[in-house]
Structure 1
Amino acid sequence: MAVLPDTAPRPVRHASPARPPARRAVDRWAWLGPLLPAVATVLLLAAPVGAGDVSASGKMTPADAASGVLVAFCAVRALRARTRPLTAAAALVLGAPVVAIAVATLAAADPAAGVAGFVRYLQVFVLVPTALVLLLRTRRDFLVVAGSVVLLALVQGAFGVYQYATGTGASYVGENIRAVGTFGPSDVMGMATVVAYGLVISVGLALAPAAPGSPRRLRPVALGCAAALMVPLVLSFSRGTWIATVLACSVMTVLAGWRQAVRILAVTAAAGVVLVGGAGVGSQLISDRVASITQVTDAPDSSVTDRYSLWAAATDMWRERPATGVGLKGFPAHRDGHAALNLSSGSDTDGAGQSFAREPLLSPHNMYLLILSEQGLIGITLIVGSWAALLAVGLSRLAGARRAGRGTECGLIATGLLLWQCVDFLYADIGGPSTVLTAMLFGLAAAWALRPEAAR
């Protein structure tokens, strides 16, 4: 039987008109547009902050305003999508702190201060992290935001090294040599925190195996950034930041494998030798500061003694009100009634373009004790439990990423940042302009733990 040829007319294909080069460039980089609010929130922290422009004064910094735009943008984007933006587990982990913060606000003796604290806690631990979970949908998105943190750290670190070299930094043992970046002596931990974040991210990129499609020079550049950021980190003279960075990077090294660890440790040792050997007279100050870490019990200095007194005061506040604490922003009002008589009235700040001032001690300089004293067992269970859940799920995702061979760098960065913050909270708490970057850190950790597709 003969087969008839197909005589049906074939559709005529018309060549699509060539798009102009400008339009092709716009289409190529269109994916970057939604990330601009997040990147702006990070990079605006490079703007100088005047004296008193801290959270305690109630003033909003440009980075705080940008974080508000980020939250609003992600909320509108989620509403327009008309889909459930979060899984049930993600909503539980991110929403648990809201309950604790609301209860502590109701327990506050000063309603105005309680509301201010409610807004700040909501921004740092709920709204900004949730916004990043909704925003970061791919591995590329994650790395862009993380890369902006490294860029900020390099800028702040370079300014901090300049302050040390020229004697224009914050006052330390009678000399204006302490590197504080653009944050000034009123937020003496700001630059150290930013630089440590950038260092942890750089180490995570250097430890992770090269992913398909990644630039070949990414790992050498990351190693260079990590080595460069060690200098301003040391010149910050921040003992708590040093401890948190060493522990976080050590754990990341173990999680990544021992082969990469040898290279990182070699670079770290070489950079340390160059740093101490080239610091000249400053090397003695650095050595004394490092040695003081082991003297916090035998021969503590005045700052350590004050911290012990503040910790004891926070514990006493919790014993009085174990369930709800004294309420948000209640620590300063109850401090004198619980602190020892040897507690200083404040800490002296000077240098870095600001005149001498005495900063009052308004917190216990320990985030866990601050939550315990102001929010009680309810707060410490729900808020710290949320962090523990993010860490546990993040570690599980990292193990899966290593088996699958993709997204390892995102997992190492997220896990390292969260570990760093959990350790640093033993010696510090939220406060100051750099706090908004802490919110971004929790957002990166939450995005990794609660959006597994972000590793693709």
Structure 2
Amino acid sequence: MAVTAPAAVTGPAGTAAGPPRGGAGGHRLLLVPLLATVLLLALPLGDGGGPGTVAPADIASGALVLACLVQLLRERARPLTRAAAVVFALPAAGFAVATVTAADPAAALPGLVRYLQVFVLVPCAVALVLRDARAFRAVTGSLVVLALAQGALGTYQYATGTGASYMGADIRAVGTFGPTDVMGMATVVSYGLLAALALALRTPPGSPAWLRPAAFAAAGALLVPLGLSFSRGSWIATAAAALAMIVLTGVRQAAKALAVLAALAVVLAGGLGIGSEMISQRIDSITRVTAAPDRSVTDRYTMWAAAAAMWREQPATGVGLKGFPAHRDGHASIGLSAGSDTAGAGRAYAKQPLLSPHNMYLLILAEQGLIGLTAFLASWTAVLAGAIRRLLRPRGAAGAADCGLAAAGLMLWQTVDFLYADIGGPSTVLTGVIAGLAARWALMPPLTATAPDAVRG
């Protein structure tokens, strides 16, 4: 098909930019490494995905970035809008400053590569690949497929006592991520649940009649493995994001959606008695984090205090990327335990060292100082605010409201979850995918039903 040049697509602030020129077929091919980045996380890792492990999903994300770069060089197009370029340049500059000012810049280089992968390169690649709503839905659909696969395995682990160790029993649902990454399954299940919920709340026009009830059923079913993950941070983030998504759909729609999800939760968790007693105890522990905190909460508070102490020593630039483990013992109190106990899910007992504060914002503050944290928060806030703003504009969300709702909900989930977690483990690459989905919706030209043959940059 011949490539034509229709009128320029205008991005934010009147900037003429958009997806690069070229036939739709070439960009459809770029979806392959993007979908592989998501779906390869269904595969188990032979060594459990310990520190330094390069997972198949990371390799796929590298292929995605490289393929996008080759495509851009061939097309010689300006790929990003001005707003998107600025938003992604901010954290990149912060990461670079933290690297060159580190006590050992060479040791900080792996951290620089990882941060650029998750917060700059993969999000940019995702934003460029998704040229239309159909491609966007392919990615959110892959998140649902991954969540259902991991969730089914996690539920099986609980039912058969083959999960990770929790309160003396091997019942914690962790999927293929193993006991060393207990947050991995909870993360992907949360993503899938919110993606399914967005499709149920804003089903695309012309969709088959079965799609909406199927999406609600998928979201309800994923509540089970999410509960069996016993991840309090994921519960809080999912509840906050889901509630925000429901509210964004309007009062009448919100009331119906809440009623449906409540009924599904009662049937799947309460009626079937799936982990109800332990889940209730875990929920109750959320309200006792100051009165009678458990060991994990005590360790987390200690690590948070250590991160704050590191920042006070180097307030502008921090201790450098990957510097938290090296400076931990010099700033943590004697109340910090030697590590967390891991066992089950086919692995022997091991003591896992505590190498991060389990709070992304405090980790950035400790390692990158105020410069890095300010750049990161400015970038993250711009994407989240832009996603919500465009969703609330009827013209901006026309025909693709489900995409906008998914983008806003997933980005909000990650924002809240970063209060209780940070990057690490095989599922980290999905953080880049989520940021890319949100950036595509918030900062690039509006999604269309089908991809244009070409745009002028």
Q: TM-score w.r.t. structure 1 length?
A: 0.91
1:409 counterpart = 2:402:
yes
Shift of the alpha carbon at 1:29?
8.4
After TM superposition, list the pairs within 5 Å mapping 1:71-220 onto structure 2.
71-208=65-202, 210-220=203-213
Distance in 1 between residues matched to 2:27 and 2:88, nearest whole Å: 26
Q: Which amino acid aligns with 1:228?
A: A
Query: 108-117 or 357-366, which moves further after superposition?
Result: 108-117
Structure 2 distance, partners of 1:368, 1:118, is 16
Tell me the residue number matched to 2:64.
70
Other-structure match for 1:11: none
Q: 3-state SS of the aligned residue for 1:350?
A: strand
Which of structures 1 and 2 has the larger relative contact order (alpha carbons within 8 angstroms, sep 6+)?
A: 2
Decide whether aligned partners of structure 1 residues 397 and 81 sit closer, same or farther in structure 2, where only a CA change above 3 A counts.
same
CA contact (8 A) 1:137 1:453 kept: no
* Contact persistence 1:51–1:184 (CA under 8 A): no
C-alpha distance in structure 1 between counterparts of 2:397 and 2:194, whole Å: 23
Q: Which residue number in structure 1 is paired with residue 444 of structure 2?
A: 451
**Deviation at 1:339?**
0.7
Give the corresponding residue for 1:288. 281
Q: Does residue 427 in structure 1 map to residue 423 in structure 2?
A: no
CA separation of 1:327 and 1:159: change in aligned 2, threshold 3 A: same
CA distance change for structure 1 residues 32 and 353 in 2, over 3 Å: closer, same or farther? same
- Report the count of equivalent residues: 427
- Tell me what 1:254 maps to: 247
Larger radius of gyration, structure 1 or 2? Answer: 1
Stretch moving more, 267-276 or 27-36: 27-36
Unmatched 5+ residue regions in structure 2?
A: 1-22, 450-457
CA–CA separation in structure 2 for the residues paired with 1:421 and 1:38: 19
How far does residue 278 in structure 1 lie from its aligned partner after superposition? 4.3
Q: 1:41 aligns with which of 37, 55, 58?
A: 37
1:380 to 373, 378, 384: 373
Three-state SS of the structure 2 residue aligned to 1:137 is coil
Note if 1:50 corresponds to 2:46: yes
What is the SS of the residue equivalent to 2:446? helix
1:299 aligns with 292
CA distance 1:140–1:336, change in 2 (3 Å): same
Structure 1 residue 172: Cα displacement: 0.2
1:221 Cα deviation from its structure 2 partner: 1.4
Task: Assess if the C-alpha contact under 8 Å between 1:161 and 1:231 holds in 2.
Answer: yes
Query: Which TM-score applies when normalising by structure 2?
Result: 0.90
- Distance of 1:83 and 1:112 partners within structure 2: 34
Q: Deviations over 1:218-250 (max 9, x none)?
A: 211110110110000000000000000000000
Q: Residues 392 and 261 of structure 1: is their aligned pair in 2 closer, same or farther, counting only changes over 3 Å?
A: same
Distance in 1 separating the partners of 2:327 and 2:371: 19
Task: Determine the C-alpha separation between the residues in 2 that align with 1:449 and 1:404.
Answer: 11
**2:159 partner amino acid:** A
How far the C-alpha of 1:436 sits from its partner, in A, is 0.7
Structure 1: gaps spanning 5 or more residues: 1-26
Aligned equivalents of 2:83, 2:398: Cα separation in 1: 25
Counterparts of 2:397 and 2:239, CA distance in 1: 28
1:395 paired residue among 388, 411, 431: 388
Task: Report percent identity of matched pairs.
Answer: 63
In 2 relative to 1, CA 214–68 (structure 1 residues): closer, same or farther, beyond 3 Å? same
- Indicate how the Cα distance of structure 1 residues 281 and 129 shifts in structure 2: closer, same or farther if over 3 A, else same: closer
Aligned-pair distance for 1:349? 0.3
Letter in 2 for 1:122: L
Change (3 A) 1:84 1:299: same
Distance 1:404 1:413 in 2: 12
Counterparts of 1:295 and 1:44, CA distance in 2: 38
Partner of 2:20: none
Pick closer, same or farther for the CA change 1:145–1:403 going to 2, 3 Å.
closer
In the alignment, the residues of structure 2 paired with residue 31 and residue 100 of structure 1 have an alpha-carbon distance, to the nearest angstrom, of 31
Deviation per CA, 1:128-178, whole angstroms, max 9, x where unpaired? 000011110101110001110110000000000000000000000000000
Q: Deviations over 1:259-314 (max 9, x none)?
A: 22222212221222223334548321111011111011111101000000000000
Note the aligned Cα RMSD (angstroms). Answer: 1.7
Q: Which amino acid aligns with 1:50?
A: G
Question: 3-state SS of the aligned residue for 1:177?
Answer: strand
CA contact (8 A) 2:27 2:129 kept: no
SS in 2 for 1:356: strand
